[in-house]
Each structure stands twice: as structure tokens, then as C-alpha cells.
Amino acid sequence: MIDTNEVIFRLDDVACHFRVEGNKKLKAVDGVSLDIHRGETVGLVGESGCGKTTLGRLMARIYPVTRGSIEFEGKDIKDLDTKTSFDYCKKVQMIFQDPYASLNPRLTVGSIIGEGLEIHNLYEPAERQKRIYDILEMVGLNREQASRFPHEFSGGQRQRIGIARALAIEPEFIICDEPISALDVSIQAQILNLLTSLRSRFNLTYLFISHDLNVVKYISDRVAVMYLGVLAELSDSEKIYANPLHPYTKALLSAIPVPDPEKEKSRKRIILEGDVPSPINAPVGCTFCSRCPYAFERCLVERPVLKEVEPGHKVACHLYDSDSSAVPV
């Protein structure tokens, strides 16, 4: 039985800054706080360059944290020693966006999946081959394909191999970084269904990163909307789609086509003016203020904090501050 109240990841004011162009700072992530509970899927959504992949990579320990802390099962991942670091790599796996680039072209599929089993010394050597076959079948491939090389597979099949590789070492948490965006639409649903069925079968927890709101809606229990390195809104999936609060979320959702010609005709799109500012030169106040149609003076000088405005629904916007005289839109 999954304890959905157990926090598996706790992110507190997490930032990741890079030095670029001499001494300038690129603030890819700049103060994200988020709890992820065991057994749930949190969708992390936003435009390209908003910092969502960087956040996933911080959690996978690919990038170091500049500020704040990331705790996994109660331990700060900065403080892991060699042994606990090794365990962490087993428990937290990543599925990458590009199924072409993420597989070693010189290894057979069996070797790609078996590598993790060897490194983590899982199963007796004689049983490993059976484990590889079992995992291949679980992800919809077959045992004969273990001796083939990645270039012999289609995009969807390669992503299945990526999933099999992550799954082979029995992780608890999987960071899915745009796992279907490089695939044909017809294959996307198959991979989403596979991830959903594997989650319940193995009690997995997912962080599902995507720029596609429809996909995130389909797979996520909760959705976090990210803009220029910070979280703009966080809520249960149903609530955020039925009643988005942040002006950026409203604009994103207004762009989703409706599969009903009549409703589609009357759908009002919110068109955002301007481009996303550079994370090297982010606004001092609300990161969205340069594009927000409702920005007022306070937004230019004070960064809004992510606050709960109704049970389970948080938003970072001054329109919803209890001391604000501005009227929520």
C-alpha cells in the first residue's frame, strides 16, 4: 500500500545559477520549493527555457545546487557519502527526452539494460539474462530483441528501451524529462499508457516534465507551472485545469485547442505580448511582470511568494495576496 502522505522529495528554496559571459549569472532555477509524495505523479510544465529540465537534473544530481536544499527520503542529497550516493543512483532514475541520443549505439539492448544490474550487483549473474528478458516484455518488447542494437529500433521502441533501462534496477522515483516529445503523436499515447501502468505496478513516483499541457493533464496527479526559474502555480491536476489562477497559467491553458468545433469557435485565447526575459537579466519583482496584462506597481519591485489560496492550490501572484487591493482576474 502506498503512503501518499510520505514526502519522498522535499525541495526548499532550490536555486541553480551558472556563470556565463564573464561574471554574469544565469539563474536557471531561482527559489523552487516543492514536496513530492510517494506514489504520485507531479507534472512540471512551462515553456522552453523556464528551468524545468534544470530542476530535474538537480534532483538527479547531474547539476549541483547553488542555494537551498533537496531532500530525498529525509536526507539532503548534497550530504550523501559514496555508499549512500550509490544507493541514490539506484533509487532515482531518469528517462531522457531524446531516445536516439540517450542509448549507447555500440551496446546491444541486453547490455544496455544489464549494465545497471551489474553495477548495482543485482541478481545472480545467471539470473540477470532472465531479468533482462522480463523487463523487455514488461515494456512491450520481446526477448529476441535483446541482441539487437539501438539503431535497429523505431523512436517509440527506443524510448521503451530507455524505460526498461531505468526500470531494471528497481528505482523508487523516475524523472521523466519530456519522454514523449521526440515521438510521433501516434506513439505518444502508447508510452504514456505504459508509464501509467508501470507506476501502479511498481509503486513508482514520477516527476513528469513537459511543455505539453494536454499530456501533463493526462498523466499527473498534481501540476506545477514554472516560469523563468520559479513556480507560478501548483495544484491538483483537476483544479488547475478547471480554475487556473495565475495569469500565466490562464494564458497557457487558453492556448489548448478544444475538440468541439462550436466551443473552439468561441474559445478566447489570451495572447501574451513579448518574449520570455533572459534568465541572465530576470526582472527584480515578479518574473512574469514584463508580459502580464494585470501587472501593477508592486509587481515590478516585489517577487510574489508561492502561497496557498485554497486547500491544495498555491499561486505566486500579488493579485491573491490577502493585503492586496487589486482584484483577482
Question: In whole angstroms, what is the distance from residue 289 CA to residue 42 CA?
Answer: 26
Task: Kindly state whether residue 286 participates in binding ligand SF4, applying the rule CB under 6 A.
Answer: yes
Among 9-17, 68-76, 77-85, 313-321, the segment contacting ligand SF4 (CB under 6 A): 313-321
Task: Kindly state whether residue 294 participates in binding ligand SF4, applying the rule CB under 6 A.
Answer: yes
Beta strands in 160-319 (DSSP E): 173-177, 205-210, 222-227, 230-236, 307-310, 313-315
Task: Kindly state whether residue 169 participates in binding ligand SF4, applying the rule CB under 6 A.
Answer: no
Task: Kindly state whether residue 11 participates in binding ligand SF4, applying the rule CB under 6 A.
Answer: no
* Neighbour-count burial of 257, counting CB atoms closer than 10 A to its CB (0-12 exposed, 13-18 middle, 19+ buried): exposed
Among 174-182, 187-195, 237-245, 288-296, the segment contacting ligand SF4 (CB under 6 A): 288-296
Which of 295, 306, 313, 314 is close enough to bind ligand SF4 by CB under 6 A? 295
Rounded to the nearest 10 degrees, how much is the dihedral formed by the CA atoms of 123, 177, 192, 270? 170
Site for ligand SF4 in 234-263 (CB under 6 A): 246-247
Rounded to the nearest 10 degrees, how much is the dihedral formed by the CA atoms of 54, 216, 97, 206? 70
CB-based burial, 264-281: b 16+ in 10 Å, e otherwise = eeeeeeeebeeebeebee
Which of 116, 292, 306, 314 is close enough to bind ligand SF4 by CB under 6 A? 292
Task: Kindly state whether residue 306 participates in binding ligand SF4, applying the rule CB under 6 A.
Answer: no
Q: Under rule CB under 6 A, how many of the chain's residues touch ligand SF4? A: 13
Question: In whole angstroms, what is the distance from residue 124 CA to residue 97 CA?
Answer: 32
User: Between 147 and 278, whose beta carbon lies closer to ligand SF4?
Assistant: 278
Enumerate binding residues for ligand SF4 (CB under 6 A): 246-247, 286, 288-289, 292, 294-295, 299, 304, 317-319
